[in-house]
Amino acid sequence: MKLVVLRGGGAADAQRAGLEPAPTSRHGAIALSDRGEQWALLNVAPNVADQLVADPTLRHHAGLADAEVRTVVLTDAQVDHVSGLLSLRDGAPIALYATPAVFEVLSQDMPVLQVLQRYCGVHWHVIPVAGETLSASFRVEGLPDLEFTALATDALAPRVLEPHEAPVAVGHSIALAVLDHRTGQRLFCAAGGQALGEPQLDWLSSADCVLLDDRTTWPESGHLPVPDWRAQRKVLLARSASGVGRDGFEPAYDGMVIEL
C-alpha cells in the first residue's frame, strides 16, 4: 500500500531543499494505491486538480496524474473535502464512493454532482453506512488488494445544510480503515474534526499507520495511550504546528510518500 499526501503550496519544495516542511493545512487530500499503478483520492481539496497537473513530483507515481478514471472516496461533505470535485470536471470520468448522506448533500444542498454529470460524468458507488448501519466494508474498483471499512463517526454537520443546527445523520462523517490483503498492512484515517469512540479506536489500535488531523478527538480514559499504539507511523494533517511532534506524530506535507 502506498499513500501520497496531496495539497497545493510550497511545503514539498521546502522538503526537497532540506528545510523543515510546514504542516499541511485542512485543505489536504490523500492519494492511496495498492501497487502504485491505480489510485483513489481520499477527499478532494480545492487545489488538488491543479496540483495533479503542475507538480512534477507526482509524475513519478504512475497512473496518478493521468488516470483514465478518477476514483474518489469521500469521508464527509465538508467544503474543504469536496469543493475540489468541480476542478476535476475537465478530466477523466469520476468514480465516486460516498455514503447516502453525503450523496444527498452533493445532490441537493451543494449540487456539484449535477454539474459534473454534464462534464466528465460521475459513477455513483454507495457506501452503505446509514440509519442503524454504523459500519460497512467495500472494495474500490482498480485496487483489488485493498479492503475498505467505513466507520460512522460523530462530527459537525456540513455548513451547507439548512438549518445548520439540523441533526447529523449517520453517514455524514466516516473514518476509514484499509487492509492490504497482499501485505497484511493496515491504515486508519480520520479527517475533518471527527470524534472517535470505542468502535473506531478498536480499528485504530490495530493499524500500522494512523492518519489524523489536529481536530480529531477521542476519550482520554480507558483506552491505550497514544505512545502505546501499534502504529509505526502516526501522521498529522495539521492546520498549525501545535500538535506536531506530540506523542510521536509527524507532520504531513505536500508530496509526502508513505509505503506500507
Which residues are registered as beta bridge partners of 209?
A: 187, 233
pLDDT at residue 240 in the model:
54
pTM of the predicted model, to two decimals?
A: 0.90
The C-alpha cell at 231 is 502504529
- Stretches where the chain sits below pLDDT 50 are 8-10, 12-17, 243
Nearest to 78 by CA among 52, 32, 42: 42
Residue 231: CB atoms within 10 A of its CB come to: 19
* pLDDT score, position 17: 45
| CA atoms within 13 Å, Cβ hemisphere of 3 | 25
What's the pLDDT at 220? 66
Residue 48, C-beta contacts closer than 8 angstroms, at least 6 positions apart: 6, 7, 8, 29, 41, 84, 87, 88
The whole-angstrom separation of Cα 117 and Cα 115 is 5
Domain ranges of the chain: 2-259
* Nine cell digits for residue 227: 505512545
- Residue 16 pLDDT: 46
| Chain position carrying cell 483514465 | 68
Query: 3-class DSSP state for residue 165?
Result: coil
Position 217 scores a pLDDT of 84
Q: Is 105 exposed, middle or buried (0-12, 13-18, 19+ CB in 10 A)?
A: buried
Single-letter amino acid code for the residue at 106: L
Angle at 38 between CA 171 and CA 25, to 5 degrees: 55
Residue 8 has what pLDDT? Answer: 36
Instruction: Round to whole Å and give the CA distance between 91 and 89.
Output: 6
Pairwise CA distance, residues 215 & 244, whole Å:
12
Pick the CATH number of 2-259 from 3.20.20.70, 3.40.50.720, 3.40.1390.10, 3.60.15.10: 3.60.15.10
- The 3-state secondary structure of 115-158, one letter per residue: HHHHHCCEEEEECCCECCECEEEECCCCCCCEEEEEEECECCCC
Q: What was the pLDDT predicted at 239?
A: 59
* 3-class secondary-structure state, position 102: helix
